[in-house]
Amino acid sequence: MGCMNKAYLSLERHFARLSSLNDALGILGWDKEVMMPSGAAERRAENLAMLEGLRHEILTAPIMADLLGEADAGDDVWRAANLEQMRRQHAQATALPGDLVEASAQATARCEMAWRTAREESDFKSLEPHLAEVLRLTRESARATGEAMGLNMYDALLDSFDPGTRQTDIDPIFTSLAASLPELIGAVLERQKSLPAVLSPTGPFPVAQQEALGRRLMQRMGFDATRGRLDVSAHPFCGGATHDVRLTTRYVESDFIPALMGVLHETGHALYELGLPAQWASQPVGQSGGMTLHESQSLLMEMQFCRSAAFAGWLAPQVRAGFGVADDAAGWDATSLHRHLTHVEPGFIRVDADEVTYPAHILVRYELEKALISGDLALADLPAAFNTRLHALLGLHVQMTDAAACRTSTGLQGCLVTSPATPLAP
């Protein structure tokens, strides 16, 4: 083994350019979700599509194939891993034509904006044609990538979403979980009935105070406020750019816990991003290792660490101080707070789900997504299928009006909207 050669060094320069382009896309995407005026939506969709096309053009240029063929990373294990990731990204990019990449980006942006309006107006029918276009382009991308990589359509999408993962890895776990989850949920609900009643903190809880509390907790968890920010969006997410991590949540004044847990979840994502090796920030090896790893960090914080009795004991005085409540106020003690944080109640919204029912939402999305990609499920039948599976796992009944269809399936649609060339994000 020798030293790295000129071809490898040239690749590092090319991928540093791509990293800057990715950062620009990240900030534009964040702005679209958080601050962009609605009248700019069409132009922003064009901007994002053009930049995605430029990224694809750089990555698939003939010089890249030549350099990757000649490159030698030498004895350095980091550079060797970086070269491996470069080759992986190049192989995935060359599987897709540039016009398909741009069309997917533009359709996704348009669909996301249509979803916002449909969600507010409870109008699934207005969203359906936009979602149909995203699904069509996703299936086309899956087919092309699968042919290039020797994978079936869904595995090709899985691989781009979480490198190396296949349905054969997921199916046995999810099959077992689907069989046992309804009984487990039932047992937990019965156990809850036997517990003494717990007092609830009395609202309303002003948004400004919720936000201030969330920011304090973020910083206590280790979030660097000089390298990121917290805002509001229709659907909570973590995005932004390298060393500029943008988090969002959403607030309701009747209950502070959903927004608080959303902040803690997204802070888990942010801490992972901010903890990536700074010296490799502009290179593929310095990027996240896939969404399984990413979600493990956010759910570790939200579902395990931040729902523990020890955390509730620390959190209770922070919450009382945040809302200006006396230390002896009923329902604001650590025991009551812990009961609220660990309360199990089936619901329709994934991001508000508790630690027991949350997996049901993932199972439903996985099953329906595979059926959509394979063509076994027509898009028009998606709301009914979503509600049927949610009833089977959580026992929830949905009145199948057009409004209910839009409201109860927005989580699934939102994930598809966000990731047109990948499976629905869990």
Max Cα–Cα distance, the chain, nearest Å: 71
Please state whether 300 falls in left (phi above 0), alpha (psi between -120 and 50) or beta. alpha
Spot the catalytic one: 102, 266, 302, 369. 266
For residues 126 and 117, is the Cβ–Cβ distance under 8 A? yes
- Locate tokens 């991928």: which residue? 15
Residue 12 known to be catalytic = no
Confirm if 95 and 149 have CB atoms less than 8 A apart: yes
CA distance 166 to 172: 11
Can you list the positions of beta strands (E) in 133-252? 228-232, 238-241, 244-249
Q: Please answer whether residues 126 and 184 qualify as being in contact, where contact means their C-beta atoms are separated by less than 8 angstroms.
A: no
Give the pair of three-digit tokens for residue 79.
């550079």
64-89: b (≥16 Cβ within 10 Å) or e: beebbeebbbeeeeebbebbebbbeb
**H or E element in which residue 322 lies:** helix 309-322
Which sign does the torsion angle of CA 108, 111, 115, 116 carry?
positive
| Spatial CA neighbour of 63 closest among 11, 16, 12 | 11
Q: Which residues are catalytic, by number? A: 266
